[in-house]
Amino acid sequence: MENEVRNIVTHLREWLEAYQEMGFAPPPVPAGRSSMEADVSGTGAVHESEPEGTPSLEALRDHIGDCRRCRLHEGRNHLVFGEGAPNARLVFIGEGPGREEDLAGRPFVGEAGRLLTRIIENGMRLKRGDVYICNVVKCRPPGNRDPETDETATCLPFLERQIRLIKPEVICTLGRVAAGSLAGREFKITMERGKWRTWMGIAWMPTYHPAYLLRNPAAKRPVWADVQEIMRKLNEGGRKNV
């Protein structure tokens, strides 16, 4: 128990340091609760206070710099910030870079990434450069393991800032881990995908990760349904450029 508390405090400290290093004010603490109580219950939830932060994606990337805020920096070749249209209406979020992404410094460029590109270009009739693609954690977890909770919590303010700067109309998370990171809890992707939710006040559709589709081609059908739903939502929005 003592170790658990010590771990929680360590993780909270790392998360708060990352948040403040980005120029954000500490999250508000509800009256009658200590900051620690407030943070323990947060588990990656969105902080509603609009931070005074970096004014552009470029400035945010500069600010992140040669980040060593969590242990994932130890094994990375490249930090994978994300890429795409800075004012995209649609943002795809994966869990973290894989081996090829780590080598290239770009998100979703391996086999799963090529499938995502086909989904965007053939399924949605968009260009890859019209959307924005990024991950919850910006550095590759060793051996492609899932990011640990503390790693996600430390890196999440960067994703939140990206979303605040891009202001998309729709977010699509890819896979269980990315969805769980946004939800702040275990996410049962087979049961919970395909239903609209909101994250940071933005319409959010969780679907399968393209890597899962490569292993389970039958899952392409539900992903196709999710893609159609996303397009319907974007078309409702009325803007021509995604």
Tell me which stretch binds ligand SF4 (CB under 6 A): 107-115, 133-141, 171-179, 187-195: 133-141
Q: Which is nearer to ligand SF4, 64 or 163 (CB)?
A: 64
Q: Which is nearer to ligand SF4, 15 or 92 (CB)?
A: 15
Q: Which is nearer to ligand SF4, 2 or 74 (CB)?
A: 74
Residue 137 interacts with ligand SF4 (CB under 6 A): yes or no: yes
**How far is 163 from 57, CA to CA, in rounded Å?**
10
Q: How far is CA 36 from the centre of its chain?
A: 24
Task: Write the CA distances from 58 to 141, 161, 172, 240, integer angstroms.
Answer: 24, 12, 23, 25
Spatial contact of 23 and 51, defined as CB atoms under 8 Å apart: yes
One residue of 57, 155, 203, 227 binding ligand SF4 per CB under 6 A: 155
Q: Which is nearer to ligand SF4, 72 or 88 (CB)?
A: 72
Spatial contact of 93 and 173, defined as CB atoms under 8 Å apart: yes
User: Which of 24, 26, 22 is closest to 39 using CA atoms?
Assistant: 26
Residue 79 interacts with ligand SF4 (CB under 6 A): yes or no: yes
**How far is 47 from 238, CA to CA, in rounded Å?**
29
Residue in the structure block whose two tokens are 């990760």: 209
**How far is 165 from 56, CA to CA, in rounded Å?**
6
Shortest distance (Å) from residue 34 CB to ligand SF4: 25
Q: Which is nearer to ligand SF4, 73 or 114 (CB)?
A: 73
**How far is 151 from 165, CA to CA, in rounded Å?**
22
Q: Which of residues 53-72 bind ligand SF4 (CB under 6 A)?
A: 64, 67-70, 72
Residue 138 interacts with ligand SF4 (CB under 6 A): yes or no: yes
Shortest distance (Å) from residue 150 CB to ligand SF4: 10
User: Which of 45, 23, 32, 62 is closest to 156 using CA atoms?
Assistant: 45
Shortest distance (Å) from residue 87 CB to ligand SF4: 23
Q: Which is nearer to ligand SF4, 79 or 174 (CB)?
A: 79
Residue 154 interacts with ligand SF4 (CB under 6 A): yes or no: yes
Give the binding-site size for ligand SF4 (rule: CB under 6 A): 14
Spatial contact of 158 and 109, defined as CB atoms under 8 Å apart: no
Interface contacts to ligand SF4, rule CB under 6 A: 64, 67-70, 72-73, 79, 137-139, 151, 154-155
